[in-house]
Amino acid sequence: MRRDRPPPLLGQHLLGVLGELLGWDAERIAAAEQAFQKGCISVKARKLDDALALLDEAIGLNDKEGAAYAWRGWARFLAGKDKAAAKKEAFKDLETAIKLSPKCAHSYFFVGQITKMTGDAANALKWFKKALSVDPNHLDAQREVRQASSPRK
């Protein structure tokens, strides 16, 4: 669970009270979270134009959420025709993601994926292991480490 914003199960009233105490704009955060969740779903469905628009919206509403930058970076890479240029843009977002939310395993995982997809499997493995150091239950990172560690036939 991300700790840089209120848990999703808090009631709207309690969220509003906490928001006032902590200086959060509860409606903006809720709208950002909704756009973020839809953006993630769109990335997974490879609806990348939709994903990028939703993740831009999420960041516009709450630019302190590292996970939104991580997913936008991954979407930017996937959407890019020129992978070298796309990698550069993606890494800008991923660097921001790691600065804002260093405990977001997806940031490290996406760096690993991009690094692997652009031909540097050895360096990618380091990023997958970093993702696991942050979240030992990250299934995709577990799979990548297992695949990299298994003997080639």
Confidence of residue 22 (pLDDT cuts 50, 70, 90): low
Q: What does the pLDDT look like over 124-135, one tens digit per residue?
A: 999 999 999 999
Distance CA 42, CA 55 (A): 10
Question: What is the rounded CA–CA span in Å between residue 75 and residue 52?
Answer: 7
Query: pLDDT, tens digit, for every residue of 96-123?
Result: 999 999 999 999 999 999 999 999 999 9
**Residues 72, 96 contacting (CB under 8 angstroms):** no
Q: Which three-class secondary structure state does DSSP give residue 57?
A: helix
**What pLDDT is recorded for position 1?**
43
Residue 46 zone, left/alpha/beta (φ > 0; ψ -120 to 50; rest): left
Give residue limits of the domains in the chain. 12-82, 103-153
Report pTM. 0.82
The residue that leads in pLDDT, 81 or 1, is: 81
